[in-house]
Structure 1
């Protein structure tokens, strides 16, 4: 990642940070350091690159991790009265404004990416006693600096953005913005898809030529997709992909316009009981892939890339606690929380 020093002047004035500082002053100015660890698991199994993961999805076939990264925003501690107190994050290559990137791939085994990993967010909060922790999976569209000027986060050019927003692998394009969460697994035997409608099976492996109503279907396609053409015309590819991000986005970010999205697809997470001194936050792949057969894909993108018409996104969004589609015409609630708590995060005593 690139150094973030040229952005520190902007960071210092962000409202999200300023709000946390104000909270500290209200408490006499005393603050306490906060470090919250995250981990990956599949039930009671730890998940890491190069290690088999047993029993994922309805097929239950073993799999290996291919990629695992996600952004969290607005981390806060919950006090005894139930109030959310913002954590003021340190500013470094993993954290910018009120945003942090958690990264569990290390380029070993079947994992892609780089050797750099990050499993901890660090910052401070007003000194006090807290009972819980909350955050949002996603990247905010806009924050404001000290002068009230908009600073675009989600729909920004990765080539000029500060770390950790500078990763091309975590973007779709300027209009679609960032991939909020990217979880990819390679199930044993691969993922079998329907016969491709496109002439080139390598393109069809990632859903090219199919209308998804989501981000560009080829944004994630490798130049040469690893696949096998089967005797019945189906194809088998190696990787099942969850890429969650906003969809139905409008506005030209290249011209400095604020982009709005019909389906924001940000996931609120609240752990009502959490002690950062004793516990860590676990992303559990078993409930994440509940109701999904990782060995078969019904079409569109391989896996779920947030397309409302993608069959695999129906159970995935339910597991995430999001509405995939509107509950009624003109309800405008697609991509919003369903009201049910997300099933994929839990608190666990640190081992």
Structure 2
């Protein structure tokens, strides 16, 4: 993979916010494309994982190389990084409703000896999204990330009691029931479905 501040050792960060408006807690730099080279040949699609491999997921972000040093994408010592972070503000939100609805995907149910200790074995729910776009033609198509089909069954104006606004991937969050399967991931007793977040267009 090409060397840049956005790519390191087979892992890359896509950043579509610029720190303005509702993204005031973000950063001005953006990165909306991945760059790399492949061997000459005929290709019939593209496949990748949305997530950080276990061996890179639980290090110290303050000493990690870029882009793994972006602490706004770091969850906690046990969980590691957020693989997907989509923060939404409903335009018709209720006065007594949540200020936003957030979809944060990362590893959960990670066992460690203490709150600040990294797990020594993979988490029970690694939550790595497997993306396969058969028939993708790089010369004429684009990979699109669109959460609309993922949250279509969720009410963004309300939040399940005693949970963080939206879905944070953690077990037992009713707000996750409508979305996790659409990320291609099983959740509780809900089996995985075809992921609807990333498409070829």
TM-score (normalizing by structure 1): 0.53
2:27 corresponds to 1:114: yes
Question: 1:155 touches 1:175 (CA, 8 Å); kept in 2?
Answer: yes
Gaps of 5+ in 1: 1-88, 143-152, 193-227, 229-234, 328-336
SS of 1:164 mapped into structure 2: coil
- Of 292, 297, 300, 2:159 maps to 297
Please state how far the C-alpha of 1:258 moved relative to its aligned partner: 2.6
RMSD: 1.9
Q: How many corresponding residue pairs?
A: 198
Gaps of 5+ in 2: none
2:196 corresponds to 1:343: yes
- Of 63, 70, 76, 1:167 maps to 70
Q: 2: CA distance between counterparts of 1:256 and 1:134?
A: 29
Q: 2: CA distance between counterparts of 1:247 and 1:285?
A: 21
Q: CA, structure 1 residues 189+164, in 2 after alignment: closer, same or farther (shift >3 Å)?
A: same
Q: 2: CA distance between counterparts of 1:178 and 1:115?
A: 20
Please state how far the C-alpha of 1:239 moved relative to its aligned partner: 1.3
Q: 2: CA distance between counterparts of 1:255 and 1:307?
A: 19
| Number of the residue aligned with 1:132 | 45
| Number of the residue aligned with 1:246 | 107
Please state how far the C-alpha of 1:90 moved relative to its aligned partner: 0.8
Per-residue CA shift, 1:210-264, capped at 9, x if unaligned? xxxxxxxxxxxxxxxxxx6xxxxxx433211111111110135966763421111
Q: CA, structure 1 residues 310+256, in 2 after alignment: closer, same or farther (shift >3 Å)?
A: closer
Question: 1:317 touches 1:324 (CA, 8 Å); kept in 2?
Answer: yes
The structure carrying a bigger strand percent of its residues is 1
TM-score (normalizing by structure 2): 0.91
| Number of the residue aligned with 1:45 | none
- Of 166, 178, 193, 1:315 maps to 178
Per-residue CA shift, 1:126-185, capped at 9, x if unaligned? 11111201111110012xxxxxxxxxx100111011111111111111111000100011
Question: 2:57 touches 2:81 (CA, 8 Å); kept in 1?
Answer: yes
| Number of the residue aligned with 1:236 | 97
Q: 2: CA distance between counterparts of 1:263 and 1:256?
A: 15
SS of 2:182 mapped into structure 1: helix
Please state how far the C-alpha of 1:94 moved relative to its aligned partner: 0.4
| Number of the residue aligned with 2:188 | 325
Q: 2: CA distance between counterparts of 1:256 and 1:268?
A: 24
SS of 2:180 mapped into structure 1: helix
Please state how far the C-alpha of 1:284 moved relative to its aligned partner: 1.7
Q: 2: CA distance between counterparts of 1:252 and 1:279?
A: 46
| Number of the residue aligned with 1:270 | 132
